[in-house]
Structure 1
Amino acid sequence: MFLAWLKPYLPRGLYTRALLILILPILLLQLGVSILFINRHFDGVTEQMTDAVSIELQFLIETANQAPDADTARSRVADIADPLQLAVSWPAAIPGQTRARTWSDFTADAVAARLRFRIPQIDAISMIDKDFVRIWIDTRHGPMQIEVNRRRVSASNPHQLLVIMVVLGVILTAISFIFLRNQLRPIQRMAVAATDYGKGRITHYHPSGATEVRAAGMAFLDMRNRLERQIQSRTMMLSGVSHDLRTPLTRLRLGLSLLDEDDAAPLLQDVDDMQRQLDAFLDFARSDHGDALVRVSPQQLVRDIHGDFQRARAQLFLGTLSGPDAPVPLREVAIRRALDNLCNNALRYGSRAEISVYVTDRAVRFVVDDDGPGIPVDRREEAVRPFTRLDPARNQDTGTGVGLGLAIVSDIARSHGGVLRLTESDSLGGLRAELVLAR
């Protein structure tokens, strides 16, 4: 229960957590030393020193009280006080209120309590002067004031020890953090490389650090290389299949062109459908791999796509262009392909569509709305799977394809560290497709 309550307040960064692990034991050690050593040692030493002085003070008091008159008392006390290094005076009266100590004097209360315990005749004690302890006692021959050097009744205040502990703690923490940072840097570099790869960027990374960190780094590089090889193999395989099939398709088209136009028309349509399917397979296999990462203005990209559809007299309208119009790192060809797919889907199943873009510090969000029939909530996850066509939801009679359009867009989004979200359009009432890319 305690850990569950404390967890939201703990730091989340690796550096801050490591720093907390480093500093917390040092603070606990200093606190323990302060309590055990300062309280016990300094209090014990102070009691012993105060007891020794109280014996001398008790002897002075008894000497003064046993003297027959005031002059004799002062003479006898002076003879004893000088060798004992005690300054004795005889004031007219004992001060009514005295300031006992300063706020920073940690042992004054222990000294005063011990002296009063050992010498009940004491009327007042003042330790406002850190160098002396002033004591007032009412004897038979009048008030007597005794000044005792502070070093004789208490150990030195532990300020020096505390300062040494703090300074050494800071120095040791700084040295430890330097070594700890060298161990954390390889982990941080590996995290950056993994994050960049999730966004479709291959960052140079060389494993370093402790043995375990290097092993994890090598495993990450092996995994990344294996994924790259699999992607390249898939792309090369489908490219080869597409290339090999295009030759017989071309021969078929040439052969059909020699036939009667009425007889060849259905067959030519079949050849065109096969050609589109091959292109769709190749687009899905290619995704955005091999596309260079360049700095592109998302707003300008949306304007260009809108202009292309406008020249084709398509009902694609320009929506909101929000955020700074500044270039961001994107795979331009892949993003353009994804947006073209979304816009074509929107116009295929609806009469009009709208494209917008929202740029923030953390993400770029492309939005395509249409006024078509939309996709039911329970089938939106299925819609982005490869080779899936939702007949009842998207009116298959008005569209053609193999069900790879949204799958290609979703794959491009994931390669940029983003996601494709399908929701209901607030503006047009149909489907809203949001291509969200992490920056």
Structure 2
Amino acid sequence: MQRRLKPLLPRSLFGRAALILVLPVVVVQLIVSIAFIQRHFDGVTRQMTGGVSIEIRYIRARIDAVETQAQAKALAYDLTRGLDLGLKFPLNAAEIPQADSRAWFDYAGRAVALTLYERLSGVRAVDLTSNPLAVQVYLDTNKGPIRFEIKRSRISASNPHQLLVWMVFTSALMTFIAYIFLRNQLSPITRLARASDAFGKGQTVPYTPRGATEVRAAGNAFLNMRARIERQIESRTQMLSGVSHDLRTPLTRLKLGLSFLPEDDDTRALQQDVADMERLVDEFLSFARGDAMEEAEPTDPIALLQHVVDNARRMGQPVTLGAAKFDSGDALDVARLRPQAITRALENLIGNAVRHAKHVEVSLQISDRALRFIVEDDGPGIAKDRRDEALEPFKRLDPARNPNKGGGVGLGLSIASDIARSHGGALRLGDSERMGGLRAEISVAR
């Protein structure tokens, strides 16, 4: 039962809170309508109808007691005039309805008909539709059929229109007031969620805690957490900048010293070691720095991808650019990205691919919610059970598909994964159905 009802329930907190608010109001209205309106007014209607039935029984008894129909007619009209009842006597058989007549929504009329049949004998039919303001009762006497016409106000309680109108109006007014109050209480939660989501994408939006005490506490905790993370990122960046400067100075002296030595195999080997050390330092710094120093800006993703492919071709890498696919149906001009970070991530993926494949293709898919930068190759790929391991920093896979082959330290895929997460997306590794190798996809939220 819970699984069947779950898809029908609203997903948002506001929708669920509104349901919790509105549902009791509707249930209370139904209970009041059934318990008070139906039962109370049915009882009143039966009581009033019973009183009129006594008058009708008295008139019929007086009619049955006289000898002639003319005497009965005169007596009946005289009695009904004093009791405020309408009368037609005698009646032809064609004037008598074959069945009762009542509107489907006339619940009080149902109680009237039942009471008349219970309290009076010889009732032929009860008509509640010919005259909306009266009830016509056809019954037998020993002088022939007779028709009584009773004002509806005498025989049934008035419909409680005013009560219903006031109940609906009051419920709508209170629901509107509760809606405003509920929206004011939930809007701070929405702003907190928006600020958290933006911070998860590397953006800092202004946020001031508001609302209830618990929401303010959560907002202050978020601000403290954001401040600590920003301080840690700033401290790490400053530290790495100093480390970078301190390491590059001795490396520069080593390169300068080696340049004065005679050119031989040992000198060339030492120069290669120094170049490898510089590359390792750059890779460590790139991983530690991430994209913390870059702000998101409107960027043309197609132009960015074209620029990355052009750079790879100038370096002699076998990379081609696939056609952009628009799943949303509309072309995309710009998206808010960190262009240098996305470029670094794509260059890492392309670099990993060209080490193990003969051909690499880069493409772009655009949907309503995400951008997908896809790098596919025709290499050996990565085993499915080792793809999560390949995304961890400093992890080297077996020689069949080492993502940092050629002296790396296992950070290329990890850097790309961190950049994707900072954009609200993820890096996914899979099999390329078209090329047969690895498919690396950077999904970026729009």
Give the TM-score normalised by the residue count of structure 2.
0.94
- 1:75-114 → structure 2 map (5 Å cutoff): 75-90=74-89, 91-93=91-93, 94-98=95-99, 100-114=101-115
- The one-letter code of the counterpart of 1:349 is H
Distance 2:43 2:309 in 1: 87
The Cα shift of 1:395 comes to 5.1
Distance 2:424 2:55 in 1: 83
Gap runs ≥5 in structure 2: none
Query: Is residue 2:70 matched to residue 1:67?
Result: no
Distance 1:102 1:75 in 2: 34
Distance 1:171 1:222 in 2: 41
Distance 1:79 1:42 in 2: 32
Answer whether contact 2:345 2:419 (CA < 8 A) is retained: yes
The CA deviation string for residues 59-89 of structure 1, in whole angstroms up to 9 with x for no partner, is: 1110111112112112222222112111112
SS at match of 2:257: helix
* Aligned residue number for residue 389 of structure 1: 396
* Aligned residue number for residue 6 of structure 1: 5
Equivalent residues, number: 438
SS at match of 1:134: strand
SS at match of 2:365: strand
The Cα shift of 1:423 comes to 1.1
SS at match of 2:105: coil
Answer whether contact 1:349 1:394 (CA < 8 A) is retained: yes
- For residues 58 and 397 of structure 1, do their structure 2 counterparts lie closer, same or farther at Cα, with a shift above 3 Å needed? closer
Greater shift after overlay, 369-378 or 391-400? 391-400
- For residues 250 and 57 of structure 1, do their structure 2 counterparts lie closer, same or farther at Cα, with a shift above 3 Å needed? same
Answer whether contact 1:106 1:157 (CA < 8 A) is retained: no
Greater shift after overlay, 154-163 or 53-62? 154-163
The Cα shift of 1:359 comes to 0.8
Distance 1:231 1:133 in 2: 87
Answer whether contact 1:105 1:157 (CA < 8 A) is retained: no
Distance 1:5 1:427 in 2: 40
Distance 2:380 2:67 in 1: 120
Gap runs ≥5 in structure 1: none
SS at match of 2:82: coil
- For residues 264 and 31 of structure 1, do their structure 2 counterparts lie closer, same or farther at Cα, with a shift above 3 Å needed? same
Distance 2:241 2:383 in 1: 35
The Cα shift of 1:387 comes to 1.1
Distance 1:236 1:346 in 2: 33
Distance 1:209 1:179 in 2: 11
Distance 2:234 2:160 in 1: 71
Greater shift after overlay, 65-74 or 91-100? 91-100
Answer whether contact 2:404 2:412 (CA < 8 A) is retained: no
1:315 to 290, 300, 318: 318
The Cα shift of 1:218 comes to 0.9
Query: Is residue 2:125 matched to residue 1:124?
Result: yes
* Aligned residue number for residue 422 of structure 2: 415
Distance 2:10 2:377 in 1: 44
Distance 2:379 2:281 in 1: 27
Greater shift after overlay, 193-202 or 46-55? 193-202
Answer whether contact 2:396 2:404 (CA < 8 A) is retained: no
2:157 to 152, 155, 160: 155
- The one-letter code of the counterpart of 1:171 is L
1:140 to 122, 142, 145: 142
The Cα shift of 1:296 comes to 1.0
* Aligned residue number for residue 194 of structure 2: 192
- For residues 292 and 246 of structure 1, do their structure 2 counterparts lie closer, same or farther at Cα, with a shift above 3 Å needed? same
- For residues 434 and 397 of structure 1, do their structure 2 counterparts lie closer, same or farther at Cα, with a shift above 3 Å needed? closer
SS at match of 1:310: helix
The Cα shift of 1:310 comes to 2.1
* Aligned residue number for residue 432 of structure 1: 439
- The one-letter code of the counterpart of 1:124 is A
* Aligned residue number for residue 402 of structure 1: 409
- 1:244-393 → structure 2 map (5 Å cutoff): 244-262=246-264, 263-323=266-326, 324-393=331-400
- 1:234-249 → structure 2 map (5 Å cutoff): 234-249=236-251
- The one-letter code of the counterpart of 2:53 is S
Distance 2:19 2:425 in 1: 33
Greater shift after overlay, 234-243 or 350-359? 234-243
Distance 1:234 1:404 in 2: 18
Distance 1:297 1:158 in 2: 66
* Aligned residue number for residue 48 of structure 1: 47
Percent identical pairs in the alignment equals: 51
The CA deviation string for residues 119-161 of structure 1, in whole angstroms up to 9 with x for no partner, is: 0122111011221011112212222111111111111123443
Distance 1:435 1:354 in 2: 14
Distance 2:427 2:181 in 1: 43
Give the TM-score normalised by the residue count of structure 1.
0.96
